[in-house]
């Protein structure tokens, strides 16, 4: 068993003074901007119909603009489980979210003033089954 060493009065005094006024420690959160800019918001559209997805996309974009996000990652899926391939009256591409969502965003006049770009996501963000919407700085 190790016997604890008793601190001297001098050591205790130095320690108490340091705790009251630590000169070599700074609060990194205190130095950050008040109006914090958030990087990326992620939203999964799996299971939504085209109409539901378009309504959600618009709501998410407008919400992210208000909250100062810079990017939105929409996960659309690749459309491989879509059952619209059998319907001859439905477009094979635009019945799938991965094609229709970017077109909706580009064609909506209200959203276009907030959008900088719409592009496919990289492999680390979902690849062919996701899109990235970059928002303008306002």
Architecture of the 38-135 domain: 2-Layer Sandwich (3.30)
pLDDT of res. 31: 53
| More confident call, 136 vs 3 | 136
Most confident of 16-25, 43-52, 81-90: 43-52
C-beta neighbour count of 135 within 10 angstroms: 19
Model confidence pLDDT, tens digit, residues 77-114: 875 555 555 544 444 444 578 888 899 999 999 998 99
Q: Mean pLDDT across the chain, nearest whole number?
A: 79
Asked if the model's pLDDT at residue 37 lies above 90, the reply is no
Strand partners, 40: 71
Confidence of residue 123 (pLDDT cuts 50, 70, 90): confident
C-beta neighbour count of 7 within 10 angstroms: 11
Confidence of residue 28 (pLDDT cuts 50, 70, 90): low
Contact 41, 69 (CB under 8 A): yes
Contact 77, 49 (CB under 8 A): no
pTM metric for this prediction: 0.63
């Amino acid at each position: 068993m190790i016997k604890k060493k008793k601190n001297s009065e001098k050591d205790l005094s130095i320690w108490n003074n340091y705790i009251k006024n630590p000169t070599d420690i700074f609060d990194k959160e205190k130095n950050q901007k008040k109006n914090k800019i958030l990087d990326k918001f992620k939203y999964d559209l799996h299971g939504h119909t085209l109409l539901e997805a378009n309504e959600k996309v618009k709501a998410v974009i407008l919400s992210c603009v208000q909250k100062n996000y810079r990017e939105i990652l929409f996960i659309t899926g690749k459309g491989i489980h879509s059952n619209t391939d059998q319907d001859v009256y439905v477009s094979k591409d635009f019945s799938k979210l991965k094609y229709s969502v970017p077109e909706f965003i580009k064609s909506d006049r209200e959203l276009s003033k907030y959008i900088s770009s719409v592009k496919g996501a990289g492999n680390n963000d979902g690849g062919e089954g996701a899109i990235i919407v970059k928002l303008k700085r306002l």
